[in-house]
Amino acid sequence: MGADSTQPIKRVGLFTGGGDCPGLNAVIRAVTKTLIRANHAEVIGIEDGLLGLIENRMRPLEFDDVSGIMFVGGTILGSSNKANPERFATGTNPDGSPVFEDVTDRCVDHAKAAGLDAIVAIGGDGTMSACQSLIRGGINVIGVPKSIDNDLVGTDITFGFLTAVQIVSDALDRIHTTASSHNRVMVVEVMGRNAGWIALYAGVAGGADIICLPEIPYSLDSICEKIDERSRRGRKATIICISEGAKERGGDQVVKLTDPTSPDPIRLGGVGAVLAAQIEERIGQETRATVLGHVQRGGTPVGADRVLATQFGHHAAALLAAGARNRLVVRCQGQIDDIDIGAVANRQRVVPPDEPILQAAREIGTSFADS
d(C-alpha 236, C-alpha 241), whole Å:
17
Catalytic residue among 20, 125, 149, 151: 149
Which of 200, 237, 233 shows the shortest CA–CA distance to 215? 200
CB 14 within 8 A of CB 122: yes
Q: Check: CATH 3.40.50.450 for 11-159+301-344?
A: yes
d(C-alpha 218, C-alpha 201), whole Å:
18
d(C-alpha 264, C-alpha 83), whole Å:
10
Q: pLDDT for 144-186, tens place per residue?
A: 999 999 999 999 999 999 999 999 999 999 999 999 899 899 9
SS3 282: helix
pLDDT the model gives residue 2: 42
Beta partners for residue 118, in sequence order:
12
pLDDT the model gives residue 5: 47
- CA distances to 79, 156, 204 from 121, in Å: 11, 19, 32
Strands 266-268 and 255-258: antiparallel
Q: Where are the domains of the chain?
A: 11-159+301-344, 164-298
Which of 260, 315, 232, 274 shows the shortest CA–CA distance to 87? 260
d(C-alpha 199, C-alpha 165), whole Å:
8
Going 106 to 315 to 195 to 347, the CA torsion angle's sign is positive
Q: Model's pTM, two decimal places?
A: 0.93
pLDDT the model gives residue 1: 39
pLDDT the model gives residue 368: 98
Establish whether 149 is a catalytic residue: yes
- CA distances to 53, 63, 112, 131, 328 from 118, in Å: 13, 19, 10, 12, 13
Q: Check: CATH 3.40.50.460 for 164-298?
A: yes
Q: Taking every pair of C-alpha atoms in the chain, what is the biggest distance, in angstroms?
A: 72
CA angle in degrees (0–180, nearest 5) for 52-58-63: 130
pLDDT the model gives residue 6: 52
Low-confidence ranges of the chain (pLDDT < 50): 1-5
Q: pLDDT for 214-264, tens place per residue?
A: 999 999 999 999 999 999 999 999 999 999 999 999 999 999 888 887 767
pLDDT the model gives residue 45: 98
